[in-house]
A and B are shown apart, each in its own frame.
Chain A
Amino acid sequence: MIRLWLAVWMSRLAGWASRLTGRGGSSLPGVVARRIDPRVLSRLTARLPQGAVLLTGTNGKTTTSALTAHLLRARGWRVIHNHAGANLILGLTAAMTQAARCRIYPRADVALLETDEATMSRASLETRPRAVLVTNFFRDQLDRYGELSTTVAFAARGIASLAEDGWLVLNADDPQVAQLGAGLRRVVYYGLAMPSPDGASDYQAVDAQFCPRCGQSLTYQRRFFAHLGWYECEPCGWRRPHPDLAVERWNRAAGEVEFDWRGHRLRLPWQLPGLYNLYNLAAAAAMALTMGMVPEQVEAALQNFRPAFGRMEPVRMDGATVWLALVKNPVGFNQVLQAVSEEPGFKVAVLLINDRYADGQDVSWLWDVDFEGWVGRTGIAAWWVGGIRARDMAVRLKYAGVAESAITIAEDPEKAFASARQAFPAATTYVLPTYTALLEIRRYLARRGHVRHFREG
C-alpha cells in the first residue's frame, strides 16, 4: 500500500516537474511509477467498476478512442483516457497515476486505453481488460516491428489475457482482424454494408490479401479500401463473418450515417470526411453498444462530437479553413487523399515529412502511397513540402506527375505552412504531417492561438 502510494505520488511529481520545465508528453511519470511499484497499472485498473478497455490496431486508434470516450461519457460514465500517442506501457501507466489529483485510486468507472500493438500483450496481462477492440492491420513503421505477421501475433497474445467475461470487438472487413475472433464466443463484429467506392489506380499499395488460415489468395465481392471488404477464401471456405453492426448508408452531403445493429436501425449525425473515419465511427459505436449503451443514447451523443487533434480536424484561420490530418502509412495516406478529393473548393496541400523514430525512419513508404492515382483527383492546385525529408516528398510528387512549378520546398514545417497560407489565404489548406511534424505544427498553431486542446497528444 505504501509502495503504491509512493509510486502514484512520485509519478505525479515527475509529471508536474516535466510540465514545469516545458516538456509535456515525457515518459518520466510512467518510468517513476513502475520503478517504485511494478504492479501499479494493474492495482489501479483493478479498482475501476468497469475495468479497462484496450483499443489497438494500425490506423484509427486515436479517433476511435476519442469517439468511444465521448459515447461512454454521454451515458454517464467517468472515463480515464490516455493522451493520443502515449500508448506504450509507460503512457498507459502515467494515464492511470495522473487520473486523480489527490486520491490514490481515481474516482472513475472505466479506463479506455489506446494501446500500441506491441504493448498489447503486456497491457492486457496487467489490466485484464473487459473488452478489447482491434481496428485494422496495415503495414506501418516496419522499421520498428519487422513484419505485419509479428504485429498480428502481438495482438493475438493480448487477446489471450482478456477477462473471462470480456468482449472482443473486431472489424469484420479486415481478414487478419476477423481471424482473431475465430472460435471465440464473446465477439462483436462491425463492418460496412455499402457498395464499393470507385478506386483510384489499379497499382495500389499491395497489402496482405492472403487467407490468414491457409495462405491462398482471397477473393473480394466488395472492396472498400486496401484489403478491407467482403472477402472469401475459395480453397478453404473461410469468409468474412456477418457483422453485428453494419454501416448501411452514408450521406456525406447531409452528414448522416445509417447503421444496422442486430436488426435495430440507427441514424447518426456524422461530419468527418473519409471512409476510414466511418470505420472509426462503426468501431466506437460497436464498442459502446457492447458496453450496454442503447442505440438512442448513441444517436443523441454524436450530436456534439469533435475529433481528436490532427485527425482531420478543421481549424478556422483568418476566414479560411485549414484541415490537419496525420499521415503515417500508405493506407492512411491514401485514405486522406481520397477524403480531400471528396471535399469541394479551391485547395492547396502542405505535406510535412519527418523521419524521426516516431515517424518511421524509412521514408520508402511514400512510394507505396498511390499518388499516381490521387493527385489528379484531389483538386489540389499547389503543393508545399516540408520536414526533414521534404526533398524525398518533392521527388515523389514529381514522379507522380505533379509539375515542378506547382511544388514549393521549405524544409521548416512552420515556414512551409506559413508560405502556403500567404500565397493562397482564401484556399482551403490541407496540412498532412507525419507524427513529429504534427507536433511542430501544433506548437506553431498554439503560439498563434489556434489550437483548443493544447495538451492532447
Chain B
Amino acid sequence: MLRFLHLYPEHMNLYGDRGNVLALAQRAKWRGIPVEIVHAGPGQAIEWSMVHLVFLGGGEDVHQARIANDFYSRRQDLTVALTEGLPMLAICGGFQLLGHYYRPQAGQDLPGIGFLDVTTEAGPSRAIGDVVSDTTLDLHPGTLVGFENHSGQTYLGSGVAPLGRVRWGHGNNGRDGTEGAVRQHVIGTYLHGSLLPKNPHLTDLLLSWALERAGEVVPLPPLDDQPEWMAHQVIVARQKQPAMSGVRLT
C-alpha cells in the first residue's frame, strides 16, 4: 500500500495541481497497488515515517504566505525524512518553499526549508507559456512538457542539479536555461499542465521511489501510455512551429 500526502491542498492547489496526485494514484491502482491519499493543512500533525510520497502545489501569493510559516516549522522532521529518501514533488510555489527563501516585490521574505539549494525573487513580469525541457533524469524519452506561469525567478546554487534544460520556454529564470531542481528523490519544478499525466515516465519514476520508500520491491509493469504520449507530443511538436513559439504575455 502506498500513502501519498497532499500538503495544504486548500491553500496550494492552483492550476490543476491535483492532477498530479490523481495521475500517481491511478498509475499505481492500474498495477494493482492500493493507494491512500491523505491531506494535511496548517497545524495538523504529520507522521512522516508513514508517508511514502509528498506532493506540494502552488498557490496564490496570499495563500502561500499563510502556509509558509507552518511549512517552515516542519523543516527539521521533513529534512530528515527527505534525506532518508522520502520522495517529494513540489510545483511552483511549493518548489520555491523547498529553497532558501522567496523574496516578494514588497514585504518580507518567505523563509523556505532550504532542502534544495535554490533562491527565488519576484521578477518584474510573469513567465507564461508552454515549456519543453530535456531532463537530467534517466528517462526515456528525455523530454518533459508542461505550462509555466510564474513571476518568481529561481536561481540554483552549487548543491543542486536542474531537473531539465529548457528547449523552449522560460524556465527557472529565463537566463541560464535551467528548469526545476532535483536532489535525491526530491523534485521542484515550475511545470503545470498538469505535469504528471502528460509525462508518464516521470510519474512512474516517482512511483518507483515511493515503492522503495515503502520497502516494497514490486516491479512496475508497463502500461499502455499511447494517449499520454500523444498529449505529450502536442507540446513537443509546437516547438517546431515558429508561429506558436515565443508567445509571452505579461
Q: Is the interface of A mostly helix, strand, loop or mixed?
A: helix
Within 8 A of B (CB), among A8-37: none
- In the complex with contacts A146-B126, A149-B60, A206-B13, A399-B193 CB distance below 8 A: no
Q: Do A363 and B193 touch across chains, with their CB atoms under 8 A apart? A: yes
CB of B17 to closest CB in A, whole Å: 8
A395 CA to B228 CA, complexed, in Å: 6
Instruction: Please report A residues at the B interface, Cβ cutoff 8 Å.
Output: 139, 142-144, 146-149, 203, 206, 209-210, 215, 217, 361-368, 372, 388-389, 391-392, 394-396, 398-399, 404
Q: Do A364 and B19 touch across chains, with their CB atoms under 8 A apart? A: yes
- In the complex with contacts A147-B60, A392-B231, A364-B193 CB distance below 8 A: yes
Query: Assuming A209-B10, A215-B66, what are 9 further A-B pairs, CB within 8 angstroms?
Result: A203-B18, A206-B10, A362-B149, A362-B192, A364-B15, A367-B16, A368-B18, A399-B26, A399-B197
Q: Do A142 and B19 touch across chains, with their CB atoms under 8 A apart? A: no
Q: Do A394 and B231 touch across chains, with their CB atoms under 8 A apart? A: yes
The contact of B61 among A147, A363, A364, by CB within 8 Å, is A147
On chain A, the residues within 8 Å of B37 by CB distance are 203
On chain A, the residues within 8 Å of B129 by CB distance are 361
A391 CA to B237 CA, complexed, in Å: 13
Q: Do A142 and B14 touch across chains, with their CB atoms under 8 A apart? A: yes
Q: Do A365 and B10 touch across chains, with their CB atoms under 8 A apart? A: no
A210 CA to B60 CA, complexed, in Å: 13
User: What would be 28 A-B contacts, judged by CB atoms less than 8 Å apart?
Assistant: A142-B14, A143-B149, A146-B151, A147-B60, A147-B61, A148-B60, A149-B61, A149-B62, A361-B128, A361-B129, A362-B147, A362-B193, A363-B193, A364-B192, A366-B19, A367-B19, A367-B22, A367-B194, A368-B13, A368-B16, A389-B231, A391-B230, A391-B231, A391-B233, A391-B234, A395-B231, A399-B19, A399-B22
On chain A, the residues within 8 Å of B61 by CB distance are 147, 149
On chain B, the residues within 8 Å of A404 by CB distance are 227
On chain A, the residues within 8 Å of B228 by CB distance are 395
B23 close to chain A: CB less than 8 A: yes
Q: Is the interface of B mostly helix, strand, loop or mixed?
A: mixed
On chain B, the residues within 8 Å of A361 by CB distance are 128-130, 147, 247
On chain B, the residues within 8 Å of A399 by CB distance are 19, 22-23, 26, 197
The contact of A143 among B10, B13, B18, B128, by CB within 8 Å, is B128
In the complex, number of A-B residue pairs with CB atoms less than 8 Å apart: 91
B198 close to chain A: CB less than 8 A: yes
On chain A, the residues within 8 Å of B99 by CB distance are none
Q: Do B149 and A395 touch across chains, with their CB atoms under 8 A apart? A: no
A389 CA to B198 CA, complexed, in Å: 12
On chain A, the residues within 8 Å of B66 by CB distance are 215
B9 close to chain A: CB less than 8 A: yes
On chain B, the residues within 8 Å of A395 by CB distance are 197-198, 227-228, 231
Q: Do A364 and B231 touch across chains, with their CB atoms under 8 A apart? A: no
Per-position 1/0 for B222-250, Cβ under 8 A of A: 00000110110110000000000001010
On chain A, the residues within 8 Å of B16 by CB distance are 364-368
CB of A404 to closest CB in B, whole Å: 7
Q: Do A394 and B19 touch across chains, with their CB atoms under 8 A apart? A: no
On chain B, the residues within 8 Å of A366 by CB distance are 16, 19
CB of B15 to closest CB in A, whole Å: 4
Q: Do A143 and B249 touch across chains, with their CB atoms under 8 A apart? A: yes
CB of B91 to closest CB in A, whole Å: 10
A209 CA to B22 CA, complexed, in Å: 22
Q: Do B249 and A396 touch across chains, with their CB atoms under 8 A apart? A: no
Q: Do B198 and A142 touch across chains, with their CB atoms under 8 A apart? A: no
CB of B170 to closest CB in A, whole Å: 13
Within 8 A of A (CB), among B10-41: 10, 13-19, 22-23, 26, 37
Q: Do A206 and B9 touch across chains, with their CB atoms under 8 A apart? A: yes
CB of B7 to closest CB in A, whole Å: 13
CB of B242 to closest CB in A, whole Å: 17
Q: Which residue of A lies closest to B9 (CB)?
A: A206
Within 8 A of A (CB), among B69-110: none
Q: Which residue of A lies closest to B146 (CB)?
A: A364
CB of A330 to closest CB in B, whole Å: 8
CB of B228 to closest CB in A, whole Å: 6
Q: Which residue of A lies closest to B42 (CB)?
A: A217
- In the complex with contacts A143-B149, A367-B22, A362-B15 CB distance below 8 A: yes
Q: Which 7 A-B pairs have the closest CB atoms?
A: A367-B19, A364-B16, A367-B16, A391-B231, A364-B15, A147-B60, A367-B194
Q: Do B230 and A367 touch across chains, with their CB atoms under 8 A apart? A: no
On chain B, the residues within 8 Å of A365 by CB distance are 15-16
A143 CA to B129 CA, complexed, in Å: 9
B13, B37, B194, B249 — most chain A CB neighbours (10 Å): B194
On chain B, the residues within 8 Å of A394 by CB distance are 227, 230-231
CB of A153 to closest CB in B, whole Å: 11
Within 8 A of A (CB), among B103-130: 126, 128-130
A32 CA to B233 CA, complexed, in Å: 42
On chain B, the residues within 8 Å of A396 by CB distance are 197
Q: Which residue of B lies closest to A407 (CB)?
A: B227
A147 CA to B150 CA, complexed, in Å: 11
On chain A, the residues within 8 Å of B23 by CB distance are 399
CB of A5 to closest CB in B, whole Å: 37
A391 CA to B235 CA, complexed, in Å: 11
Q: Which residue of B lies closest to A215 (CB)?
A: B66
A365 CA to B129 CA, complexed, in Å: 14
On chain B, the residues within 8 Å of A392 by CB distance are 198, 231, 234
On chain A, the residues within 8 Å of B227 by CB distance are 391, 394-395, 398, 404
B22, B227, B234 — most chain A CB neighbours (10 Å): B227
On chain B, the residues within 8 Å of A147 by CB distance are 60-61
On chain B, the residues within 8 Å of A215 by CB distance are 62, 66
On chain B, the residues within 8 Å of A388 by CB distance are 234
CB of B245 to closest CB in A, whole Å: 13
A363 CA to B9 CA, complexed, in Å: 19
Q: Which residue of B lies closest to A394 (CB)?
A: B227
A372 CA to B129 CA, complexed, in Å: 27
On chain A, the residues within 8 Å of B62 by CB distance are 149, 215
